[in-house]
């Protein structure tokens, strides 16, 4: 079976630790539930991701060097 998370077109998905999550929420002045969602079954997620975790997704961008988005893992 192919591991799609290792494909060159799939952006990096990084799980944040609790301190990083709090820093992100404070920086953007949002609650965890206000973040965009990503399903736990998404094949690009790391295997250790659980419902309630926050994932940092880093994509290449034409206008900036990289674009960073945060998503909340849901069931």
For the chain, domains (ranges, CATH) are 4-74 (3.90.940.20)
Euclidean distance between CA atoms 49 and 13, whole angstroms: 10
| φ, ψ of residue 62 in degrees (nearest 5) | -75, -40
CA atoms within 13 A on the CB side of 11: 14
Euclidean distance between CA atoms 53 and 21, whole angstroms: 9
Euclidean distance between CA atoms 32 and 21, whole angstroms: 8
For residues 12 and 58, is the Cβ–Cβ distance under 8 A?
Answer: yes
The model's pLDDT over 18-75, given as tens digits with 9 standing for 90+, comes to 999 999 999 999 999 999 999 999 988 988 999 999 999 999 888 888 999 999 999 9
């Amino acid at each position: 079976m192919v591991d799609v998370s290792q494909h060159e077109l799939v952006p990096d998905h990084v799980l944040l630790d609790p301190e990083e999550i709090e820093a992100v929420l404070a920086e953007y002045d949002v609650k965890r539930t206000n973040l965009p969602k990503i399903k736990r079954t998404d094949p690009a997620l790391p295997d250790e991701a659980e419902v309630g975790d926050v994932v940092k997704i880093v994509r290449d961008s034409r206008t900036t060097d990289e674009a960073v988005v945060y998503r909340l893992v849901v069931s």
